[in-house]
């Protein structure tokens, strides 16, 4: 799966949670909570879906303190 395919899967995954802007309008530096108004509580659900979809494990703490 290349970067664009992963991005497409990710955008589809977060679509139910996005309350501001459309997922298509995002760029690589778009913040889920600050820019897309995703409820911070739902980040857990996005992480779980990503782990299942991509067979990965994501640390529970964000790297730079930003989601």
- Backbone conformation region of residue 27, classed left if phi is above 0, alpha if psi is from -120 to 50, else beta: beta
Residues 19-48 touching other proteins, rule: CB under 8 A, are 39, 41-45, 48
Shortest separation between residue 61's beta carbon and other proteins, angstroms: 13
Minimum CB separation of residue 65 from other proteins in Å reads: 19
Number of neighbours of residue 19 by Cβ within 10 angstroms = 10
Q: Quote the Cα angle for 16-40-21, to 5°.
A: 45
Task: Tell me, by CB under 8 A, how many residues bind other proteins.
Answer: 10
The contact set with other proteins (CB under 8 A) reads 15-17, 39, 41-45, 48
């Amino acid at each position: 799966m290349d970067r664009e395919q992963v991005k497409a899967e990710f955008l589809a995954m977060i679509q139910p949670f996005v309350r501001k802007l459309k997922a298509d309008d995002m760029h690589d530096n778009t913040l889920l909570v600050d820019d897309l108004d995703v409820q911070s509580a739902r980040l857990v659900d996005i992480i779980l879906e990503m782990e299942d979809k991509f067979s990965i494990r994501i640390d529970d703490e964000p790297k730079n303190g930003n989601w």
